Amino acid sequence: MTVLNQASDGQVNTLIMLVRTSVRFGPRSRADLLGMCGADLEAVDKAKLNGSFLTWSDLGLFETIGDLTALSEPYRSRLGNDVAKAEARLPGIAREIALLPENNARFWEQKNSKSADLSRGLSWMLAQDVYTLDTSNHKAIEDLEALQVKDLTKRMLQNDTRYNTLKSWMSYLGFGREGALFVVDPTVALRGVIDDLFDSGASLPARVFLSKLSERLPVLDTGLYRVRVEDTLKDSAWEPAAEGVLSSSLSRAIERLVDTGELEFDQRDDNEEGLQMTGVGGRRWRSFPYIRRGPVRLDVV
């Protein structure tokens, strides 16, 4: 089972429904839980509903004790008992679960790789120049992937169904935005972890910030999953960011959070080696040696 396998278990709305039902009604038998989600209705695809449950159980969100199924701890406590609040908290928890090392151990395997297919797809999309990437159709993505990937057995997206599923998960988990054209943008994902990166409002050297960030979101620059994917790309078809230069996707997210006051650049008169951002056309944008948590805090539940 894999997260992007929409044919059996890859739908965002199904996960939401399963979690809302489990929060509202508590531990139930698996048959009861699926029945409360509409498994017996003609309009509901019972196989997909069951497949989504099995996938997220395998990832660790659900557990079965005896005859009863429930949300696993610590996620049950973090989601809480209020259905609306639980739904609002779910994207951050699902993002955390999907990126866990144990759910990405079989990183290049195509079957039964848990969430590795999602992590591969995220890493590849976030490694592109977000200002020139053609997201309008799968053919454009397919052609670019075929051009860049050295080993075609390690292609991230094999068909249009997986591409469309990836876009829906990217939007839900905070790595993209739907619109007239899909936009690669990890702003929401970055917003979800920035409070965990800073201690007591103190500034961080830019490179320490990036190191801590890539541990929390390893599909971003220098992260473990991102590096694995970048290692499979041809230098002739994809240009890696230079040392100390951020990708256009992460640059976009940082700049947006600076604009809202959630992050602040801290300029100091010392020799700390900073990071440089990438803008439109690959141009080198502003650089910053230090960064800190800004005074503005938008609601992140």
Length of the chain: 301
Q: Quick one: 139 and 220 in the same domain?
A: yes
Strands (E), the chain: 62-65, 68-71, 176-177, 183-184, 204-205, 263-266, 275-278, 284-288, 290-293
Strands 183-184 and 275-278: unpaired
Whether the CB-CB separation of 18 and 75 falls below 8 Å is answered with no
pLDDT at res. 7: 62
Range scoring the smallest mean pLDDT among 88-97, 114-123, 151-160, 255-264:
151-160
Q: Name the phi and psi angles at 68, rounded to 5.
A: -110, 145
74 by Cβ neighbours in 10 Å (0-12 / 13-18 / 19+) ranks as exposed
The pLDDT of residue 6 is above 70: no
Q: Are 166 and 82 contained in the same domain?
A: no
| Arithmetic mean of pLDDT, 248-264 | 97
Residues 112 and 69 in one domain: no
127 in the same domain as 23: no
Cβ atoms 293, 194 nearer than 8 A: yes
Q: What number of other Cβ atoms are within 10 A of residue 241's Cβ?
A: 19
User: Residue 124 CA to chain centroid, in angstroms?
Assistant: 12
How many angstroms separate the CA atoms of 75 and 192, rounded? 16
49: domain CATH number is 1.10.10.10
68 contact partners, CB below 8 Å, separation of at least 6: 27, 28, 29
pLDDT given for residue 109 in this prediction:
86
Share of the chain above pLDDT 70, in %: 96
The count of structural domains within the chain is: 2
Say whether pLDDT at 10 is over 70. Answer: no
Residue with tokens 């910053």: 288
Tell me the pLDDT tens digit for each residue of 217-254. Answer: 999 999 999 999 999 999 999 999 999 999 999 999 99
> Of 79-88, 183-192, 200-209, 249-258, where does mean pLDDT reach its minimum?
200-209
Residue 262 lies in a domain: yes
Looking at every residue in the chain, the average pLDDT score rounds to 92
Rg (CA), the chain: 20
In terms of domains, do 51 and 83 share one? Answer: yes
Q: Return the half-sphere exposure (C-beta side, CA atoms, 13 A cut-off) of residue 94.
A: 27
Candidates 66, 88, 90; CA nearest to 76 is 90
Look up the domain containing 175 and give its range.
99-301
Nearby residues of 45 by Cβ (< 8 Å), 6 or more positions away: none
* Residue 46 lies inside a defined structural domain of this protein: yes
Structure tokens at 53: 């449950």
Lowest mean pLDDT, pick from 74-78, 108-112, 174-178, 182-186:
108-112
Per-residue model confidence as pLDDT tens digits over 274-301: 999 999 988 888 899 999 999 998 876 6
Task: State the Cα–Cα distance between residues 15 and 97, nearest whole angstrom.
Answer: 13
